[in-house]
Structure 1
């Protein structure tokens, strides 16, 4: 999932990024503020896309219990030259398997740890 997020980020496709979230998903900002629902998450993602960077993301761990999964990943967001790091961190996410078998974020905390 984290690799998919990075892929859609790098194509700057806001709608594809939003499609990775449930309607009532929770997103925790870098400042620790909680936003709920797609409209609020859309605003957060627009700010992220505004950095105009290139993201890489590597999954660190996955724990699945039925239709719920806990993920952790390390991401690095660099400028478009890929030389300078804009931000990097360790994420924590809770996903739910959808009826069609896909997974969507229920809770996304991209800055659970800033490195």
Structure 2
């Protein structure tokens, strides 16, 4: 994973132009290792529901929640199971997996099924409104 950008880095984060693109775009941004790229996947007012049920409802809280996963330094793989758009809103059911050697040198395997809601913004880009990685 790429974890730092440099002044000569020309990487530009992808955007989701269709509801079905949201999981793959999230994975690409996550796998870049750039917290700001992941943060761009959330619309203003979005919430992140942690596996223990805690709700992060601010950009800072969502960044902290994602930092736990990003801090592993491992890529995420996503497999959309259902994408159900209704106008400018969509329900996404996505199986995901993070696997590799963790920061402590031990094998790590996390997986889950996310239940997410995304919305198309005025700019035509789809972003998360609700992100529940294990739900």
TM-score norm. by structure 2 comes to 0.77
The whole-number CA distance in structure 1 between the counterparts of 2:120 and 2:28 is: 20
Higher strand share: 1
RMSD between superposed Cα atoms in Å: 1.4
The whole-number CA distance in structure 2 between the counterparts of 1:52 and 1:97 is: 29
Do structure 1's residue 75 and structure 2's residue 96 form an aligned pair? yes
The whole-number CA distance in structure 2 between the counterparts of 1:55 and 1:68 is: 24
The whole-number CA distance in structure 2 between the counterparts of 1:80 and 1:95 is: 31
Cα shift readout 1:53-111 (whole Å, capped 9, x = no counterpart)? 12100111011111110001100101259xx5520010000011101111010000011
Aligned match of 1:51 in 68, 72, 83? Answer: 72
The aligned runs of 1:61-100 (5 Å cut-off) are 61-79=82-100, 84-100=107-123
Give runs of ≥4 in structure 1 deviating > 2 Å.
Answer: none
Cα shift readout 1:21-45 (whole Å, capped 9, x = no counterpart)? 0121010012111110211101111
Structure 2: gaps spanning 5 or more residues: 1-21
The whole-number CA distance in structure 2 between the counterparts of 1:85 and 1:51 is: 9
Figure out how many residues of one structure are paired with residues of the other and give that number.
110
TM-score norm. by structure 1 comes to 0.89
